[in-house]
Amino acid sequence: MALADYFHRNAQAAAALVSGFDAAQLAAKLEQEVIGVVFDGAVHTNLEADAALDLTIRLLARLYPTLVIAKVGSAKPPSVNRLRQLAKEINPLIGLSGDLKKATKVLVFGNTEVSVPKRAKPHTWYVGSDNWVACLSRSAPVGSGNSSNPLGAGAAACIAAANVFRAVFALEVGEAALDTELRVSLMDLRPASTATPNPPFAEVELREVHLVGAGAIGNGTLWALSRMPCRGDLHIVDSEKVTDSNLQRYVMTAASDREKEKAGLANQWLASCDGLNVTPHPTTWAAYVASIPEYKVQTVLSAVDTAQARIQIQASLPQVIFNAWTQQAEAGVSRHADFLGPMACLACLYIPTGQAKPEDELVASALKLPQDKQTVQEVRRRLQLNVPTDSAYLQQIAAAANVEYEKLAALENRPLRHLYTEG
């Protein structure tokens, strides 16, 4: 067993959440854990069970070095092999087993009650969904529906993975409460009951949609689209390639996707979606808009990671914008259906509240470089021309920031902006 070779990015993320928690401590913590994923024959007949299992493996395999993937009841070996192969594609070094006795935390999918090791009993969840409703229980199987709606199943997978994380890091994150019995509707994000509306899921008519950004949020969007019946034209706009800093949080990526264009990968992931015409655009939104002779965009899904990019999207005046973001302790969405209406436009959410430094000064400051005119001008040149960061300049940054050069070496020959956003 072994941690993924992009583990250092997980360590950086953990350090941001837990003060003083270094990479060695994180590795030691994770190496004590064996996460069990168990399923029965429902995966063969229930689309929602299959979707939840798929996303669960995509989440767990990026962080934990050892998984138990096991079947019970009428589950067939090919399903086990498929899920193990997926885990290996995400982390080729991962340890895999079929022995549930080794598990410390367990997630169970299907209709079968499972006997788990004594140490895992307090941390075993039954996971499932019913169309728009995500379900979780620590006492009994919850089953899964057979609708073509992946959203309830996807939410259930995320909630289950979050509970595993909170259980593993209970001491570090303050004994966060674990979910016991949960049914939440994706229709209104409230607890679900028998009276909660749960309308049938029909084929989605996208018409023409532009997904701007194929990063973490974009990957989640693409996962959902890849598993639902939909029709229309989807344009995917992203100028970047996949890096190590992406692999630990992009659910659709495999380790072999390093240095591949995000937009092109997104096109591959949706290749089996009948009725959906996908066009990748490996460029920036500004360049894409400038390239269209008669620009008129109906709907934009904003999945970018800077305020500047969101303001640019709004400035291009799409008819409708759906915006999403994540921050250290929150996730959010906003809808902007009518630029001329009374509601705030997307740019209104990101109006500066004070005087901001120019980008060159901001980057120089973040990299701990001197603020003299010559240094700032060199930063500006590298930003404007997208100059690859050579070894000598990277060593200068490492010395100024008082960090070991080896920690930045992976960013050599990458543009300076990448060092600023990822380093």
pLDDT digits (tens, 9 = 90+) for 194-241: 888 999 999 999 999 999 999 999 999 999 999 999 999 999 999 999
Q: Is the pLDDT of residue 397 over 80?
A: yes
Pick the most confident of 103-112, 292-301, 365-374. 103-112
Q: Is the pLDDT of residue 73 over 90?
A: no
293/279 Cα distance (integer angstroms):
17
92/388 Cα distance (integer angstroms):
29
> Residue 420 — pLDDT band, cuts 50, 70, 90?
confident
Radius of gyration for the alpha carbons in the chain, expressed in angstroms and rounded: 23
The DSSP letter of residue 176 is P
pLDDT digits (tens, 9 = 90+) for 350-396: 887 777 778 888 888 889 999 898 999 999 998 888 889 999 999 99
Other C-beta atoms lying within 10 Å of the C-beta of residue 84: 19
Q: What is the pLDDT of residue 44?
A: 86
Q: Is the pLDDT of residue 162 over 90?
A: yes
pLDDT digits (tens, 9 = 90+) for 164-185: 999 999 888 776 789 999 999 9
In the chain, what are the domains? 7-191 (3.40.50.720), 204-350 (3.40.50.720), 359-422 (no CATH)
374/12 Cα distance (integer angstroms):
31
Q: Does residue 78 or residue 228 have the better pLDDT?
A: 228
309/389 Cα distance (integer angstroms):
23
Q: Does residue 397 or residue 352 have the better pLDDT?
A: 397
Q: What is the pLDDT of residue 19?
A: 64
Tell me which residue of 227, 79, 247 sits closest to 155, measured CA to CA.
Answer: 227
307/262 Cα distance (integer angstroms):
20
> Residue 9 — pLDDT band, cuts 50, 70, 90?
confident
> Residue 321 — pLDDT band, cuts 50, 70, 90?
very high
Residues 9-32, mean pLDDT to the nearest whole number: 80
Q: What is the pLDDT of residue 43?
A: 86
299/412 Cα distance (integer angstroms):
37
Q: Is the pLDDT of residue 21 over 80?
A: no
Q: Does residue 56 or residue 19 have the better pLDDT?
A: 56
Tell me which residue of 131, 150, 68 sits closest to 104, measured CA to CA.
Answer: 68
